[in-house]
Structure 1
Amino acid sequence: MTAYEPETADEEIAPAVREVYGPVDLSSVPAFAGGFINFGDWQGMSLEHPLSTEDRVRSERNLYRRVLRALAPEAGRSRAVEIGCGLGLGGALALGEFGCAAVTGVDIHPEQLARARAAHADLLARDPRRFRFVRGAAERMPCADGEFDRLYSVEAAQHFRDLTAFARESARVLRPAGRLAVTSFFVPDADPAKAQALAERLDSFATGLDQPHPLPTLLDALRAAGLADVCAESIGEHVWPGFDHFLAGVDLPAGWPRNFLGAYRDGLLDYYVITARRPAH
C-alpha cells in the first residue's frame, strides 16, 4: 500500500461550485432542508398532500440509505470513503445505522469541510480514527492504494470534472473485492443536443455548477479502470416527482429548479444508482 497525499489547489474548484458551497451555503437553503444536500428518495411517500420539512429530511436520509444498502458494508469491518461528503451527515449515518468500522469524508471545498468538522466535533474528538475529513478532489483522492473496502458518493458526481480520472482513482483506493456505489443525475445517452437543452432549462447547467455527464461515460470509465459488475439502476421516478411536489410548497427565489421534473420526463436527464466492484484477484 502506498501513501498518496496530493495537494488540492483552490483553482481546481469550479467558480460556481466555490460560490454555491461557500458563501451561498446550499445546506442552509430551504429546498435542501436538513443539510444532506440531495434531491431525495421519496419512494413510499404520498404525494397527494403537501410535503413537510420533516418529509424532506427523510427523503434525503432515504437516498443515503438506498446507496448504503447497495454498498452492503459489513458491520464492524468495512472501512468506507465518501467522495463529496459535504457536511458529513451521510458519513455519520453510515457509522450509526450501517455499522461501518470507519468512514473518511473527502470534499474539495474547504468551507464545506470546516462546516463538517464543526457539525461532528464531538464524534471526531471521541474517536478520530473512526470518522475523519480530508480535503481532496474526486480525480485525485488523498488516499492510499487499497485503503478502503467501500467507496460511495451521493449526488456529487455531477460536479466532477473528469469521470475517467474518478473511475481510475476509485479502482485504486478500493481493496480487492471492494465495492462502489454512486448516485447522481446524468444524461441517459451521449446525445450532445441534450446538454444544450439542459443549459437552456436549468441554471445549474448554464452556470457550470452541474455538468451534463452522459451515463455511458461513467459506466465505460469504471469498466476501463478494471472494475467488474458495473450496472446502473434508474431511480428517477422516486426522485423527481417527490422533489418537485415538495418545491410546490417552498418559497423559491427562482423558478428554474422545478424544471428538473420536466427535463426528466423529456428524457434529458435521469437519476441513477451505479454499482461496481473491484475483482478479488
Structure 2
Amino acid sequence: MAQQPPPAGAAGPAGHPDGPEPPPELPERVVKIYGEHDLSTVPAFAGGFINFGYWAGLADIDGRPLTEADRVRSEEDLYRLVLGTFERPEGRTALEVGCGRGLGCALALREFALGSVIGLDAHPDQITRAREANAALLGGPAGRAGRLDFVLGAAERIPLPDDCVDLLYSVEAAQHFRDLAGFAREAARVLRAGGRLAVTTFFARSREAARVLPELLPPYADGLDVPHVVDEVAATLVAAGLRDVRVRPIGDGVWEPYDRYLAQQPEPRDRWARRYLTAYETGLLDYYVLTAGAG
C-alpha cells in the first residue's frame, strides 16, 4: 500500500473436516494499518476505498490537476475493470476476498446486477466498518436485504462451503497474502464448476526484483506486503486446479496518474510512496489483472 500512517471470530469453512477455527493471526503491521490507523483515511486514498486506482477511463486528465473526484473514480474504475472480466454476472453469487469497507461489494451489486455478494476480510475492524458503511443494503427493503453479507475470515481459509460461489474477485489485497497457494486452493474449492476468478494487485516482475523491492519500498521490508512474483502467482493458480489462467499488465493505466495525484498532495507524510513509479519504470514491479476458470 502507499503512504502509510506512522508506525505505531468467524466460523471455519464447512469444506474443512476440523470444523470452526478463527483466521490465522495477522502480521502486526497489517493489524495496525487496517485497525487503529485505518488506511482508508489516509489522503493518498479517497472515498473509503484503498487501492491505487485505474485511471485510463478518465477523460482529459493530461495537463490538468487531478481532483479528489478523479481519485475516487479511479478506485471505482479498478473495480469496474475487474468485475468487467466476468461474462453475464447478472443474478450470480460473488465473493470478494479482502473487501475492506465493502464499497466494492456495493458497487458490484449496484452496477453489475449480481444476485448476491459476500465480502470477506481477515481484519475484524474492516468487517465492522463494512457493515456500518453498508447498513442500508444489509437491512434494506424486501428484494435488497439478503443480497449482501460480510464475513470474517482469511484468504487461505475461507469460511464458506465447497462449490458455493460463481465468481471470486480480489482487488489490491493479494499482496498481503502470506500463503498464496492456500488462497488458490480455497478459491478452487469454493468456486462452482464453470466459475471465474479475477485478482488484481501489484506483483514483482521477477525473483531478482522481489529481492530488491524491500530496499526501495518500506511495506515490503516492514511486513505489510509480500513481493510475490507474477509468474509464480499464475503458476500457483494452475497448480490449484484453476484453468485458462491469464495475466494482463495494466500499469500504464495506474502508476503515472497515481504518482501525479500524490505529487499534488500537501507535504505527503511518507515521501517514499512515490517510489512505486520508480519501481515500475525500472522494471521491478507492475500492476496486473489475473483471471482464471474453475471446473
Deviation at 1:73, TM superposition (A): 4.5
Deviation at 1:188, TM superposition (A): 1.4
Structure 1 runs (4+) deviating above 6 angstroms are: none
Report the more deviating stretch, 195-204 or 170-179: 195-204
Question: 5+ unaligned residues in a row in structure 1: which ranges?
Answer: none
Tell me, yes or no, if the aligned pair for 1:6 and 1:136 is still in contact at 8 Å: no
1:236 equivalent to 2:251? Answer yes
CA distance in 2 between partners of 1:66 and 1:240 (Å) = 16
Aligned to 1:42: 55
Tell me the SS of whatever aligns to 1:96: helix
Question: 5+ unaligned residues in a row in structure 2: which ranges?
Answer: 1-12
Aligned to 1:74: 89
For residue 238 of structure 1, what is the amino acid of its counterpart? Answer: G
Deviation at 1:128, TM superposition (A): 4.4
Change (3 A) 1:8 1:217: farther
Aligned to 2:281: 265
CA distance in 2 between partners of 1:47 and 1:144 (Å) = 47
Tell me the SS of whatever aligns to 2:247: strand
Aligned to 2:14: 3
Aligned to 1:202: 217
1:275 equivalent to 2:288? Answer no
What do residues 212-262 of structure 1 show as CA deviations (whole Å, max 9, x unaligned)?
A: 001122111111111111010000110101100100111211201000000
Question: Identity of counterpart residues, as a percentage?
Answer: 52
Question: Residue 120 of structure 1 is aligned with which of 115, 134, 145?
Answer: 134
1:100 equivalent to 2:117? Answer no
Aligned to 2:26: 13
Tell me, yes or no, if the aligned pair for 2:95 and 2:169 is still in contact at 8 Å: yes
CA distance in 2 between partners of 1:15 and 1:217 (Å) = 26
CA distance in 1 between partners of 2:190 and 2:96 (Å) = 12
What do residues 77-99 of structure 1 show as CA deviations (whole Å, max 9, x unaligned)?
A: 21000000000000000000000
1:52 equivalent to 2:52? Answer no
Question: Residue 40 of structure 2 is aligned with which of 7, 10, 27?
Answer: 27
Tell me, yes or no, if the aligned pair for 1:160 and 1:211 is still in contact at 8 Å: yes
Tell me, yes or no, if the aligned pair for 2:57 and 2:77 is still in contact at 8 Å: no
Question: Residue 180 of structure 2 is aligned with which of 154, 163, 167?
Answer: 163
1:179 equivalent to 2:196? Answer yes
1:245 equivalent to 2:260? Answer yes
CA distance in 2 between partners of 1:201 and 1:71 (Å) = 35
CA distance in 2 between partners of 1:198 and 1:82 (Å) = 27
Deviation at 1:202, TM superposition (A): 1.0
Tell me the SS of whatever aligns to 1:143: coil
For residue 123 of structure 1, what is the amino acid of its counterpart? Answer: L
Aligned to 1:215: 230
Provide the TM-score with structure 2 as the length reference.
0.90
Higher helix share: 1
CA distance in 2 between partners of 1:236 and 1:156 (Å) = 16
CA distance in 1 between partners of 2:21 and 2:258 (Å) = 37
CA distance in 1 between partners of 2:43 and 2:88 (Å) = 32
Q: Number of aligned pairs?
A: 274
Deviation at 1:8, TM superposition (A): 2.4
What do residues 144-178 of structure 1 show as CA deviations (whole Å, max 9, x unaligned)?
A: 10000000000000000011111000000000000
For residue 105 of structure 2, what is the amino acid of its counterpart? Answer: G
Aligned to 1:152: 169
Provide the TM-score with structure 1 as the length reference.
0.94
Tell me the SS of whatever aligns to 1:275: strand
Change (3 A) 1:132 1:178: same
Aligned to 1:137: 154
CA distance in 2 between partners of 1:111 and 1:6 (Å) = 20
